[in-house]
Structure 1
Amino acid sequence: MTPAAASNDTPGRTPDTGLRADAERNRDRILAAARHLFATEGLGVSMASVAREAGVGKATLSRRFATREELVNAVFADRMDAYASAVTDALADPDPWHGFAGYIHAVCAMQAADRGFADVLTMTFPAAKALEARRAEAFHGMLDLVARAKGTGYLREDFTSQDVVILLMANAGVVNATGDAAPDTWRRLVAHMLRSYATPDAPIPPLPDAPAPTALYRAMVRITRPGPA
């Protein structure tokens, strides 16, 4: 057996990555911890908190992910792929207005499902090249989607791509504020916003019920006193 061949069979190493098995396990634990913390608490959690959740030292975390941007890129790569796919699916809809409305709802639902991703969609990470490339791809597809929806006469002519960004910022705020206290509040916000974007003749979906006053009260308490309401 040649030395080169023997190196591929060294115990404790994974052939596909070349990382020691324990290092690969640490990476998986870090990603799982970051996904959980970002989804439940948003991107404001510290790298030290991620290390504690993963059960590794800060030095181990730094070896795997030297910057927050690298960690964010790894955690949200699949979600950004889904975000880009939402545009592709909307563009494939034979009814451009229906595709546009479906895209808006789908992206806001992604935000509602993951507080961290709600933040990612309203922030930029210049060092996370892959993440930003997918964002750019999705943005250009969205511009095409907006143009097609306007062509139906159902989307207002004064609607701009900036309005999508404003909606995502507003929805992120609602998602982060309401949390588990009133988790479906975002649906009513999105429905109201779609009505504001539509021309008088546009077919619009029914307006979801408003959250119960007690649920909104719990959400307000949650804002002033972070933690379970």
Structure 2
Amino acid sequence: MTEQLTHNLRSDARENRDRVLDAARSLFAERGLDVTMRQIARRAGVGPATLYRRFPAKQLLVEEAFAQELQACVDILAEGCDDPNPWRGFCSMIERMSVLTVRNQGFVDAFLANGRYDGAFAEHRRRLVPMLGDLAARARAAGGLRADFVLDDFVLIQLGARGLTGLPAEERERAARRHAALVIESLRADRERGVLPTPAPLVRLVLQGCE
């Protein structure tokens, strides 16, 4: 009897945790990170006490909710770096990152929000920036990427794609691929280009919360 009761309690706890995570992912994707813990609890159909027992701080919930997206970022960039043609790998990375960005408004907010969501997000930012820098350098050396590209431009590209999250869900991916194609065309080195304005220090701003 005691073992059955313990099993039931554990099963209920797992179900509550899964409902909370499903609700958080859904609300973060729809509205970004400004949703409250109380709104998440209401969507999940659990009481606030249950929610805080599982996730005492919102940061813990955000990290758990976006664990798959964080890993997807690493995989996308790693596969781009592994491509023997660095320009092709760079282009693939830009397109896939843009698609990932438009699928979830809250993920981009969390990933770029320096200082607000440290922990796993800060760790991934520290890991991804050098990988991105290496891929860009190799794409530039191979003659594919324009010489004046800087890493701040990548943050700018992602911020631009993030604006597409306001589109109807069924149109976002197509718009993201179009956005990425236009960006890639502007970054090609095989034609005469105008001089770009001085970049904003976006990478430094993103990494401030990692120090």
Q: Normalising TM by the smaller chain, what interval?
A: 0.7 to 0.9
1:68-147 paired onto structure 2 within 5 Å = 68-124=58-114, 127-147=117-137
Query: Which residue matches 1:177?
Result: 166
Deviation, 1:48, is 1.4
CA distance in 1, matches of 2:45, 2:12: 13
Unpaired runs of at least 5, structure 2: 193-211
| Alpha-carbon spacing, 1:67–1:25, altered in 2? closer, same or farther (3 Å) | same
- TM-score relative to the length of structure 1: 0.75
Q: Aligned-pair distance for 1:181?
A: 7.1
Q: Is the 8 A contact 1:126 1:132 kept in 2?
A: no
Rg (Cα) greater in structure = 1
Q: Please tell me whether the aligned partners of residues 108 and 162 of structure 2 are also in contact (alpha carbons under 8 angstroms).
A: yes
How many positions carry a matched residue from both structures? 190
| Deviation of the 1:180 alpha carbon | 3.3
Q: Which amino acid aligns with 2:112?
A: T
Deviation at 1:125, TM superposition (A): 5.3
Shift in Å, 1:126: 5.2
Q: Which shifted more, 58-67 or 177-186?
A: 177-186
For 2:155 and 2:15, the matched residues in 1 are separated by 37
Structure 1 partner of 2:178: 188
**Quick check: 1:66 aligned with 2:56?**
yes
Aligned to 2:151: 161
Which residue of the partner structure matches residue 33 of structure 1? 23
Q: CA deviation at 1:128?
A: 4.1
Segment of structure 1 superposing worse, 39-48 or 142-151: 39-48
1:72 aligns to what SS in structure 2?
helix
RMSD across aligned positions (CA) = 2.3
**Counterpart-to-counterpart distance in 2, 1:121 and 1:129:** 11
| Matched-pair contact (CA < 8 Å) for 2:87–2:145 | yes
Shift of 1:187: 2.2
TM-score normalised by length of structure 2: 0.81
Residue 67 of structure 1 aligns with an amino acid whose one-letter code is A
Against the structure 1 CA distance between its residues 125 and 67, is the aligned structure 2 distance closer, same or farther, given a 3 Å change threshold?
farther
Shift of 1:10: 7.0
**Cα distance in 2 between the residues matched to 1:37 and 1:83:** 21
1:36 Cα deviation after fit: 1.4
Which one is further off, 30-39 or 121-130? 121-130
Which of residues 140, 149, 157 in structure 2 aligns to 1:150? 140
Q: Structure 2 CA distance, aligned partners of 1:26 and 1:35?
A: 14
Higher helix share: 2
* CA shift for structure 1 position 40: 2.5
Q: Aligned residue for 2:46?
A: 56
- Residues 64 and 125 from structure 1, CA distance in 2 versus in 1: closer, same or farther, beyond 3 angstroms? farther
